[in-house]
Structure 1
Amino acid sequence: FKPAYIAAGAMYLAAKVSNVKLPCHGGKVWWQEFDVSPFQLE
């Protein structure tokens, strides 16, 4: 896996476990910054 995928997965899991909503900025959802899709995170 690419390092960006691992980083995005770690952020997703940490946010899910902690019940934290990750932000969007400038019309981009946080996972788009890592060039991953929600499907890849599930």
Structure 2
Amino acid sequence: MIPHDPDSGIAPGTPWEAVPDDWVCPVCGAGRADFSIVT
């Protein structure tokens, strides 16, 4: 789960798998592919 990103239409509680492949972090500018899921 990621923090919400209302400017990109990402609602609070959105699972990572549902985030679009072309999403870019509004804070750091990194693309979705640059992130890793940590459990």
TM-score, length basis structure 2: 0.31
* Structure with the largest fraction of strand: 1
TM-score, length basis structure 1: 0.30
Higher relative contact order (CA 8 A, sep 6+): 1
- Asked which structure has the greater CA Rg, the reply is 1
* Structure with the largest fraction of helix: 1
